Amino acid sequence: MSSLPFPVRCLVLALGMCIAALGVALITNAEMGTTPITSLPLVANAIHPLSVGTHTVLFNALLVVLEKLILGPNFSRANLLQLLPVFFFGFFIDVWMYLSAGIHQLPYIERLLILLAGIVTLSFGILLQVACNLIVQPGEGIVLALAFRTHLNFGNLKVMVDAGMVSSAALIGLLCLGHIVGIREGTLLSAILTGFCIRGLGALLHKGFPRLFPARK
């Protein structure tokens, strides 16, 4: 996909963010937990009446600031550009959260199926964003910064960062609200299954569209 014209890649990036935001909304509105990276914006939304999308933008901006502190003089304009698509992602999350708000009224089994569909949807959106090869999202950017500074394995750091986000969200919920917000079985399922879905969908898309979705290790 990196061989496509730049405007087309930008459009696909926007489409990927829109689809990924739909996945986040489906997972969250199923009220069985949320994704690790959305756990902090969700608990912030429970404390302060800004929307989940707005809190997502603010949280991602904080991640970019942390990247600056970690990388120091190695922080570049490319790192700062991570902020540009975040505003669209936050907007898409709010739109889909509004449109799918009635999911929580469904029976448990139906919500579980919607949660699983949300994980697949999120995975496809992530694949589109990665295939564009344009901008890294701050959630991955902070892990890359830590990997650069510590020389530790990216995958291991990703797991630790996600666990830190979930733990922080649980602690903030307990301290500020007296209970945990948005961390349930769905959080664990999304943390475990998203990586498998990305690899599985990536392999399928590579077979059907090898030029658009090159093989990845």
DSSP 72: G
Quick: pLDDT tens for 8-40. Answer: 889 999 999 999 999 999 999 999 999 999 999
Type of residue found at 116: L
**What is the pTM (predicted TM-score) of this model?**
0.90
State the pLDDT at residue 2: 59
Whose CA is closest to 35, among 49, 18, 52?
Answer: 52
Q: Which residues contact 210 (CB under 8 A, 6 or more apart)?
A: none
Quick: pLDDT tens for 164-173. Answer: 999 999 999 9
State the pLDDT at residue 155: 83
- Give me the residues of the chain with pLDDT under 70, please: 1-3, 211, 214-217
State the pLDDT at residue 215: 65
